[in-house]
Structure 1
Amino acid sequence: MMKHILLIVCLLLFVGMSIQVEAQKPKIIVSTDIGGSDPDDFQSMVHLLVYADKFEILGLISSPPHNGRVEHIFEAIDAYENDFPKLQGQSTAFPEPDYLRKISKQGAIDPQSSEIPESLSEGAAFIISQIRANPDYPVYVLVWGSITDVAQAVHHDPDIKKNLRVYSIGSWNTDQDPKSRDYLFKNHKDLWWIENNTTFRGMYMGGEQSGEYGNISFVEKNIKEHGFLGKLFWEQKKDIKMGDTPSVLYFLQGNPENPESASWGGSFVKTGHGPNYWTDNPDLSLVENNRPGAKTVNQWRKEFLEDWAKRMKWLK
């Protein structure tokens, strides 16, 4: 009798632990300019979808500049759907393709024209609704394009800042809509925000580049001819750039709640701007090719590339 009781207790503990692990999956919304003038968002989307079982993806928002639209997200999902049986054979946690289509929305197609956001795009409204639907958990918005939709969402519903977390890839993206970025920076100093302006360059600059780890050689060996997702990656760009991918790597190895700790997606420093604002580490020992903080990513290059290669083999 006692053995049966112990068995039941162990089973209950196992189920409880499984539920807890599921609840701890990072909840993310991706805001991307995929399909615009830079093909590397297709690369980063392929990488994200191969790791989709590790996240609770709450939204995929098309936030261009230029010609990127939600149908370009669908293009990546179509490739994912073709590879889905193989991915699901590895983990039943991979989301259904139709679910991903359902949560894909069109964001703003024009940059902010005034000092304060005036409109509310479908994508921005969806950001608000998804954060509101998850009041007890942090929701991370990974910004791969203009930050327009985040600015609109925060302006129209500032209360979402309580559990909103932003990891934005700046640099060229910021230049496409500086007013949105400046609005958030000046008016929402309490926003939890990692502004990655140069650290992301470590994705393709420096680190282990010899042999099969080179930007070209890695893709030729480990991505090309690896399923429909590998084909999409290869058709868009034949070497590693993937400048937005550090925002995904940030969750795969490290502590997302502590931007100052080491992670595959970089480590960052506070500047005194706000209590929850971090940006590139200016330490000279972490500079790569004049890009501050880049070595906090490229020091892990071998590890994150090998991990990705293992997953791409599932698609062969």
Structure 2
Amino acid sequence: MRTFIFFILFSMISCSFFGQTYQKNRVIILTDIEADPDDTQSLVRLFLYANQIDIKGLIATTSCWHQTNVNPKSIEKLIYAYGQVQPNLLKHESGFPTPENLLTLVKEGLPIYGMGGVGDGMDSVGSEWIIKVLEEDDDRSLWISVWGGANTLAQSLYKINNTKTKKEAKRLISKLRVYTISDQDDSGIWIRNNFPDLFYVVSPGDDYGSATWTGINGYFEGVDNTKISNSWIAKNIQQNHGPLGAVYPDVAWGVEGDTPAFLSLIPNGLNESEHPDWGAWGGRYELYKPDFSKTKEGGSIVTIAPETRKIWTNAIDNYTPYIPNEFGRSVKKDTVSFKNDKVTLWRWRDDFQNDFAARIDWCIKSYEEANHPPVPVLSHPQQITVKAGEEFSLDAFDTTDPDGDGFSFLWFNYPEAGSYKKSIEINGAENVHVASVTAPEVSKEETAHFILKVTDKGEPQLSRYKRVIVTMIPK
């Protein structure tokens, strides 16, 4: 009886993540699964967050690498593996959907490449499903996470545009949020040109080396790349982690190149999906019209063309990591800094890889054996206003950890996320629960983003965040 009561109480707590309520992001996945093992890798990770992200569709599609086949059965195979561990996942957090529920979401687009599959008579189960979900009585945005070609989405938009009133089409399209992993067919540029108001995140063209998303799997000099190594993956994901880890394939080209398309939908206190310019696990992006002369072709058959509108695309961070310090203050700034668009993503890579490793532990471990993320709690609102030159405090005294682990604090300014672009230093120690900051002199109202990162001392170490937006006004 006691066990039953504990389970009920735990479920009630975990539904709100220990008092932290959030609204799940809705997402439909378009995947050219079997074109590259990385789609399978990304689906394994996605299913481990299936209680935190509202998965509304899993649609098998084509791409420039996979032009005449779609493979919904490959998605189903992964769901069967997930089904074997779902009961154990529920011991750690509530809300993991049943495998039967996920199987109903598996659909397919046409086995036709690109714009050849868009137009009259080109509807598919997948394109119709996107419209059906979009028409549901739900005010939340609907994210379309495109891991291959985008022509199934293009067909949905084509039909909406040709069968709905202008008012209704505008209403439906306004709810869409699209993140595509580069351009993997010729429908991406068609979508952007024909639907200029559509919220669209992409590194345009087919030159993957110029894309922000490659920050997830790139090997970078001066950076610890251990957690994307094949040996780390084998030890922490593939082996001795149950059926879901066992179906995680070896890397063929690049590990999890599609994962950035949904990473920023995970509720971790840092991610704000409606604000790509704020920076998050999936990278940081700014809204502008790219210079076509700098857009490169990468060797696929996709034809690139100038953008005719603003899109959410590559942004640059100037990042100096904090590193452990053996004596005295536990952290110090590194002696090297990095400045490029890949930084916006890989700066969080150790954190989200540790999170992945912890959640796949949940597939096989009891609650007591596994690690769970800390819960940062601010002692003040997440948005505050101060005057120029004023000293103010940021405090997270009531932070807790569900496992009773010790944890570390780290406060830092994220200049690129706010309107005030100069770095604002923390006065004194940045690794204590209360941080002191002096607002700089400003001639007009400016905003500055301060990030609290709380990392537990469990295994693997897990991090959660709070973002404080400070509005600074002239004296």
Query: Fold conserved (TM > 0.5)?
Result: yes
Equivalents in 2 of 1:32, 1:115: separation in Å? Answer: 16
Partner deviation per Cα, 1:8-45 (whole Å, 9 max, x = no partner): xxxxxx99x95x9777110111111112x211000000
* Cα RMSD (Å): 2.9
Corresponding residue for 2:341? 293
Q: Name 1:169's counterpart in structure 2.
A: 181
The answer to whether the Cα contact below 8 Å between 2:70 and 2:108 also exists between their aligned partners in 1 is no
Name the counterpart of 1:307. 355
Offset at 1:112? Answer: 3.4
Residues 242/214 of structure 1: CA separation in 2 closer, same or farther (3 Å cut)? closer
The two structures have a TM-score, normalised by structure 1, of 0.83
Distance apart, 1:133 and its partner CA: 0.6
Counterpart among 281, 288, 313 of residue 279 in structure 1: 313
Among candidates 83, 90, 93, match of residue 91 of structure 1? 93
Distance (whole Å) between structure 1 residues aligned to residue 55 and residue 246 of structure 2: 23
The CA deviation at 1:116 is 5.8
1:9-88 equivalences under 5 Å are 24-35=23-34, 37-65=35-63, 66=66, 67-88=69-90
TM-superposed deviation, 1:71? 0.7
1:23 and 1:214 map into 2 onto residues whose CA distance is 30
Q: How does 1:1-316 map to 2 (within 5 A)?
A: 24-35=23-34, 37-65=35-63, 66=66, 67-113=69-115, 117-118=119-120, 119-158=122-161, 159=169, 160-170=172-182, 174-175=183-184, 177-178=185-186, 180-197=187-204, 198-206=211-219, 210=224, 212-225=226-239, 226-234=241-249, 236-237=250-251, 241-252=255-266, 253-272=270-289, 277-281=311-315, 283=316, 293-316=341-364
Distance 1:239 1:302, change over 3 A: farther
Task: Compare 82-91 and 94-103 and name the one that shifted more.
Answer: 82-91
Deviation at 1:139, TM superposition (A): 0.6
Q: Decide whether the 8 Å contact of 2:62 with 2:70 is kept in 1.
A: yes
Secondary structure of 1:186's partner? helix
Q: Equivalents in 1 of 2:198, 2:20: separation in Å?
A: 27
Amino acid of the structure 1 residue aligned with 2:152: D
**1:27 match: secondary structure:** strand
**SS of structure 1 residue aligned to 2:231:** helix
Distance (Å, rounded) in 1 between the aligned partners of 2:105 and 2:20: 23
CA contact (8 A) 2:51 2:96 kept: yes
Change (3 A) 1:45 1:26: same
Structure 1 residue identity aligned to 2:62: P
* Number of aligned residue pairs: 290
Distance verdict in 2 for CA 1:134–1:21, change over 3 Å: farther
Q: How does the TM-score come out when normalised to structure 2?
A: 0.56
Larger CA deviation: 21-30 vs 98-107: 21-30
Higher strand share: 2
Q: 1:148 to 1:285 in 2, by over 3 A?
A: same
| Structure 2, gaps ≥5 residues long | 1-11, 162-168, 205-210, 290-306, 320-338, 365-475
CA distance in 2 between partners of 1:259 and 1:102 (Å): 31
Q: Which is helix-richer, 1 or 2?
A: 1
SS of the residue aligned with 2:277? Answer: coil
CA drift of 1:68 comes to: 3.6
Query: Closer, same or farther in 2 for the Cα pair 1:21/1:191, shift >3 Å?
Result: farther
> Given that residues 219 and 238 in structure 1 are in contact (C-alpha distance below 8 angstroms), is that contact kept between their aligned partners in structure 2?
no
- CA distance in 2 between counterparts of 1:55 and 1:132 reads 19
Structure 1's 109 and 21: CA in aligned 2 closer, same or farther, altered over 3 A?
Answer: farther
Contact 2:192/2:309 (8 A) holds in 1: no
Q: Which residue does 2:421 correspond to in 1?
A: none
TM superposition shift of 1:92: 2.5
Q: 1:161 to 1:63 in 2, by over 3 A?
A: same
SS in structure 2 of the partner of residue 89 of structure 1: coil
**Distance of 2:27 and 2:115 partners within structure 1:** 28
Residue identity matched to 1:190: D
Structure of higher CA gyration radius? 2
Classify the secondary structure of the residue corresponding to 1:109: coil
Q: CA deviation at 1:240?
A: 6.2
The 1:111–1:182 alpha-carbon spacing in structure 2 relative to 1, beyond 3 Å, is same
